[in-house]
Structure 1
């Protein structure tokens, strides 16, 4: 009768057993049982269990390895997509716990030249793919000093991320605290847009409010407002209908991208939705805006958003079958 006693798990394993992911008794006898049976060399490897540094195998470690000088050189190694110095410095050091800023302090905006550069950076690089803002209304409210502080902070947050590095220092900010938790904003459409935009910033692996957290908040808020349902026959003003469609399809596309990137299930179920696909009219209803503040929308921006929304739907059809495609209004 064969011996069924399980092999003891050794703290030291041989290379062959480690490669095959099987238990190794090399710590008791060498060659180990598997190597004796297979007639292979039994070469030990040293276990690194418990010897990894706290920053090994994460983004901080990657930054330290890629940015560290090599062979005594005074210049850091070159990478294809270098991480901005301010972001690398933040991730490479243990974050310090600071008291949250007060609401009056959070409401203070950057100097006007800095603010406008951040706004242009956002509308040039982020908004074409995720057009969640009514540009005409925003430019009007901004020039009147009445733009949503929450939305502005989300725009500035992404402007700092994609804009020139010098803008962070010129603004005089020490962190990227947002106004979401203060419940200062009352426009629910704006809240959904801001929640989506906040998901593009992640301070590091220790930050629990990551991309998945914010897209979940945006999805819940959007569905609570019924953005996933058709309102074409409701008598809702065109500007509201078009903007809500843009916001919803931005959330939808971001949900699919996030699920694919993080290996998580999609939050939005197509069978719950009957909203129509985005059209060119939805992307152009707010073209009458201040072009000195917001860059011009190009034709390929319109096509990009429409095709990305379609692609997100096609992906779901390919994985789960055509019955899950958004089919338009339910009769």
Structure 2
């Protein structure tokens, strides 16, 4: 991996030639299983380089625990073995393995401990004096054989039968590394900017100079999930190079392998598990498949909340890098959950009033560059703008869901009317806050997929806010006209994206936006006459063509869309048959 290893200091009594294991390690080095020089200085070199809190673990070698607590410098923590030579700056942004989050309602928040005092002192030393006495919300769980049996190849405590099953089914199989690199490159070029839940620089460092996946310190489950997404965006030649006949076979294979590893309880790293589950939520199986987007997202949300990802970093006492990654992961899940709820007409699973995590800021992308020689690219200003603005519009989307989809809400009431007016004002303010280079020009179009996606989301929310006015046959009302204009803009943006060849790089909410516009155009066809109807037919046809193009990359299992495609074809045949002969 090209990372230098720290050389352990020789024993003061005698120079032992065997130095493969460090005698003492701080918490962070022990988690990452790298060598630690905390016995020589504190903070250790690894924690000092990463800006992390260097906490010494209690002794597990039979020494008196009270004596160890009073003399931290002479503690003997757990052994740490450097199996991969990874420096701590590449550490996973997860909370301490074996910890759990407890909210304000738990009595555990009132229980002091030595760990609490150590954490408070470390946190205060980083300049957060105002929060040094805050109640802790995460507590370590007792170590078990299961919690310490994770290796770079996965779980070592699984039964022989389970391991045999996983190997026979190919769950542990990966294509040749070199053939997969274009798929991973496509992942970071087209998926990662929208959903920045991975540490791009960390992945790039761990893949640098690697000759095979067996020498890469990346979770096997996460790699399968990343390749599942990468197979959506890479070209056909890469699909064949990885050994698959077509894109659907590749995506199905990678998804199935990831799912089997999840059900085998393969992955124990909390953050990696959330990341993998999130990626699995982009699977589109049969319409009757219960393991759909909401299934995988539901598990990811449950785990994220169990580990306190929705809470302020001030409460969680995390170092700056970990806090940045936790924010990116949480808001990524948040945006996806809001979009899924709106597209399916179902209630949101995340309540804003339960969350006090800080909003995203440009500083959260400070380390999201993989270097000039890496094929995985770097973070661009428009990537940051897109992610931050999508969080803002997702919050508005959640309020719209509450207005339209919560049972018992009276959409015709004065309160709801005022709410819709306020939502419309907020949405317009959101659009005005966009940087000039992000604002979409219908005359010139845009060659940026991120600009197009932002404005597709904006116009989709316009339709959702005013759709009841349109559906009540009030074609002359301002709300109805807003819906028509928004649907026309969506058709135009989709057409521009298709013309420029960037439609395939759009995200899942692109499908929802285009489908909503298709529904509006179809209703207009039924209602309109003359030129109005012909224009609506043309726009509906554009939406259908774009959705058919997207189906090549994202399988759309939508029975309603199938009806549109089927009856649209019959309608064209019928019109052709009715035309008089020349």
User: What's the TM-score, normalizing by structure 2?
Assistant: 0.36
Could you tell me which of 338, 352, 355 is aligned with 1:273?
A: 355
Deviant stretches of 4+, over 6 Å = none
Could you tell me which of 397, 409, 430 is aligned with 1:315?
A: 397
Q: Secondary structure at the match of 2:183?
A: helix
Structure 1, 279-288 or 256-265: larger mean CA deviation: 279-288
Could you tell me which of 275, 280, 285 is aligned with 1:193?
A: 275
CA contact (8 A) 1:132 1:243 kept: yes
Could you tell me which of 206, 220, 226 is aligned with 1:149?
A: 220
Q: Secondary structure at the match of 2:170?
A: helix
Partners of 2:325 and 2:203 in 1: how far apart? 12
Q: Secondary structure at the match of 1:129?
A: coil
Q: Does 1:306 align with 2:388?
A: yes
* Higher relative contact order (Cα pairs below 8 Å, separated by 6+ residues): 1
The Cα of 1:112 is off from its aligned counterpart by 2.1
Partners of 2:372 and 2:263 in 1: how far apart? 31
Corresponding residue number in structure 2 for 1:172: 243
Work out the number of aligned pairs and report it: 225
Corresponding residue number in structure 2 for 1:105: 170
Query: What is the CA RMSD across the aligned residues, in angstroms?
Result: 2.5
The Cα of 1:228 is off from its aligned counterpart by 0.4
The Cα of 1:315 is off from its aligned counterpart by 2.6
Q: Secondary structure at the match of 1:153?
A: helix
The Cα of 1:166 is off from its aligned counterpart by 3.3
Partners of 2:311 and 2:183 in 1: how far apart? 33
Partners of 2:283 and 2:205 in 1: how far apart? 27
Partners of 1:288 and 1:168 in 2: how far apart? 24
Could you tell me which of 302, 311, 334 is aligned with 1:220?
A: 302
Q: Secondary structure at the match of 1:212?
A: helix
CA contact (8 A) 1:199 1:212 kept: yes
Structure 1, 111-120 or 252-261: larger mean CA deviation: 111-120
CA contact (8 A) 1:202 1:209 kept: no
Gaps of 5+ in 1: 1-98, 326-331
Partners of 1:109 and 1:312 in 2: how far apart? 36
Aligned pair in 2 of structure 1 residues 138, 243: CA closer, same or farther (>3 Å)? same
Could you tell me which of 107, 116, 121 is aligned with 2:186?
A: 121
Q: Secondary structure at the match of 1:276?
A: coil
Corresponding residue number in structure 2 for 1:159: 230
Aligned pair in 2 of structure 1 residues 103, 196: CA closer, same or farther (>3 Å)? farther
Q: Secondary structure at the match of 1:185?
A: coil
The Cα of 1:123 is off from its aligned counterpart by 0.6
Partners of 1:289 and 1:221 in 2: how far apart? 32
Partners of 1:259 and 1:204 in 2: how far apart? 19
Corresponding residue number in structure 1 for 2:339: 257
Could you tell me which of 264, 268, 286 is aligned with 1:182?
A: 264
Gaps of 5+ in 2: 1-163, 209-214, 404-418, 427-582
User: What's the TM-score, normalizing by structure 1?
Assistant: 0.63
CA contact (8 A) 1:121 1:163 kept: yes
Aligned pair in 2 of structure 1 residues 208, 290: CA closer, same or farther (>3 Å)? farther
Partners of 1:252 and 1:276 in 2: how far apart? 13
Aligned pair in 2 of structure 1 residues 219, 142: CA closer, same or farther (>3 Å)? same
Partners of 2:319 and 2:201 in 1: how far apart? 15
Partners of 2:263 and 2:376 in 1: how far apart? 28
CA contact (8 A) 2:278 2:297 kept: yes
Could you tell me which of 292, 298, 323 is aligned with 1:241?
A: 323
1:234-273 residue CA offsets vs partner (Å, 9 max, x unmatched): 4411111000100000000000000001111100011111
Partners of 1:271 and 1:163 in 2: how far apart? 40
